[in-house]
Amino acid sequence: MAKLEYAPAPESRAVVEIRSSYGLFIGGEFVDSQGGGAFPSINPATEEVLADVTDASAADVDRAVRAARAAYRGVWGRMAGADRGKYLFRIARILQERAREFAVLETLDNGKPIKESRDVDIPLAAAHFFYHAGWADKLAYAGLGVAPQPVGVVGQVIPWNFPLLMLSWKIAPALACGNTVVLKPAETTSLTALLFAEVCQQADLPPGVVNIVTGAGATGQALVEHPGVDKVAFTGSTEVGKAIARSIAGTRKRATLELGGKAANIVFDDAAIDEAVTGIVNGIFFNQGHVCCAGSRLLVQEPVADELIRKLKRRLATIRVGDPLDKNTDLGAINSAVQLARVRELSDIGEAEGAQRWSLPCDLPPQGFWFPPTIFTDVAQSSRIAQEEVFGPVLSVLTFRTPQEAVAKANNTPYGLSAGIWTEKGSRILWMADQLRAGVVWANTFNKFDPTSPFGGYKQSGYGREGGRHGLEAYVTAGDLG
């Protein structure tokens, strides 16, 4: 299929004002670090330095936790749910009003295509605040006890793949339930969290209810290990999740861990193949494959395997890789040099282990971090690209003959975050959904998200749920205001 030519359609970056350097957001204002350093946040599509961000010290984390405690005791933990809800509604509306600014900043800092940050990340982030605003005065009806109480101060650590969206998954339910928050964004993508701090000011949120401390792993560690933190909410790699679970074992802290995934996207021979192709592309190439629930293992029933791969390659030929700010771009930049090195390394290992590699022939920009959409066929179940999370635009294809074999192969992973099923048979969908050890199972679609729907994993994909009524559970207790 010939690729249509489009004139460049770049989104203007003039809508967003990026400061040359940022402090920390503690107690309702931007403050300088006490003894911390700084590091650059770069645009992964160009390697341009966007801003210097503070590398918060343990003393900064301590200050933020104290500010959160003071706000919890002083005002937020005692505020009527209906009043908390008003703040959340206000934040949601401001996010909508400033959506374009957030979308451009997210794309600059993360490398994801503007059409995704504009149409997915930012609207969903606002939707999370709207949804949880509605819960704030109805917690007594959530099936969590007659008078659920907040947990207290929550330490939240998030990854770089959906920076503002992961922030909203964390902050919206915590605030709705009456907790206060110290959040650490990922080191490569701090800027929308810092812009969100401005939104908190604009919404007149009481000082200290939300605190943002930027930094790398050491800052995250200082936060989760701080004795003033009552609950930890973490999204990131399984490796770091395990380290956090170990570090808080034996304390009274509660934790939810949203970790990695290696989802199977399973196509039966009766599936609508063209629709499945669209779902497969969305499943693995959305957000450059930097998606915990990405459909990174395609399981195809043998009779349709050849046809499916042929159609998939044909469809991939229409994908546009390049400037993330261009409204026609489908696949943006890999988020960092470190992540690019990992995607390259695992892909080379896949090839060395005997899988057949196919990459879309395309021109990649000279600057920045790029990787073409890639498919591996003839992948053995034991191959590292079938077992480990690549977290990039790389699809491993395996085949199966019977539904039982599909289930066995799909569940043959240490992870259990999500799965997809493509078939015309409703009874098979229900049977498969029952057999698959995955927190989310999509049928004849993939990567559908909604704040009303709980999300979370089995096995090494973590524990706890985010979103929906289930997600509130992590943020309430029967205890009193400590």
Which residues of the chain form contacts with ligand NAD (CB under 6 A)? 157-161, 184, 186-187, 216-217, 220-221, 224, 235-237, 240, 243-244, 258-261, 292, 389, 391, 417, 457, 461-462
- Considering beta carbons, is residue 170 or 409 the nearer one to ligand NAD? 170
Look up residue 203 and give its two tokens. 């919404």
Using CB atoms within 10 Å of the CB of residue 457, give its burial: 0 to 12 exposed, 13 to 18 middle, 19+ buried.
Answer: buried
- Considering beta carbons, is residue 116 or 187 the nearer one to ligand NAD? 187
Smallest separation (angstroms) from ligand NAD to the CB of 477: 23
Smallest separation (angstroms) from ligand NAD to the CB of 132: 17
- Considering beta carbons, is residue 232 or 379 the nearer one to ligand NAD? 232
- Considering beta carbons, is residue 260 or 368 the nearer one to ligand NAD? 260
Smallest separation (angstroms) from ligand NAD to the CB of 299: 20
Stretch (H or E) spanning 99: helix 99-110
- In order of 66, 75, 331, the CA distances from 227 in angstroms are 11, 21, 42
Q: Is 357 helix (H, G, I), strand (E, B) or coil?
A: strand
Strands 153-157, 231-235: parallel, antiparallel or unpaired by DSSP? parallel
Using CB atoms within 10 Å of the CB of residue 39, give its burial: 0 to 12 exposed, 13 to 18 middle, 19+ buried.
Answer: middle
Rounded to an integer, what distance in angstroms lies between the CA atom of residue 444 and that of residue 81? 39
Q: What DSSP line would sit under 68-84, residue for residue?
A: HHHHHHHTGGGS-HHHH
Residue among 177, 200, 292, 293 flagged as catalytic:
292
Rounded to an integer, what distance in angstroms lies between the CA atom of residue 96 and that of residue 128? 12
- In order of 234, 276, 339, the CA distances from 230 in angstroms are 13, 44, 32
**Among candidate residues 377, 340, 384, the one with its CA nearest the CA of residue 356:** 377
Smallest separation (angstroms) from ligand NAD to the CB of 157: 5
- Considering beta carbons, is residue 53 or 316 the nearer one to ligand NAD? 53
Smallest separation (angstroms) from ligand NAD to the CB of 474: 13
- Considering beta carbons, is residue 373 or 457 the nearer one to ligand NAD? 457
Rounded to an integer, what distance in angstroms lies between the CA atom of residue 76 and that of residue 179? 7
11 is catalytic: no
Rounded to an integer, what distance in angstroms lies between the CA atom of residue 81 and that of residue 139? 8
CA angle 16, 90, 257 (to 5 degrees): 80
State the alpha helices, DSSP H only, in 301-382.
302-316, 337-352
292 is catalytic: yes
Look up residue 356 and give its two tokens. 């057949």
Smallest separation (angstroms) from ligand NAD to the CB of 30: 20
- Considering beta carbons, is residue 273 or 349 the nearer one to ligand NAD? 349
Smallest separation (angstroms) from ligand NAD to the CB of 450: 14
Rounded to an integer, what distance in angstroms lies between the CA atom of residue 240 and that of residue 369? 24
Residue nearest to ligand NAD (CB): 220
Residue among 106, 258, 389, 473 flagged as catalytic:
258
Positions marked catalytic: 258, 292
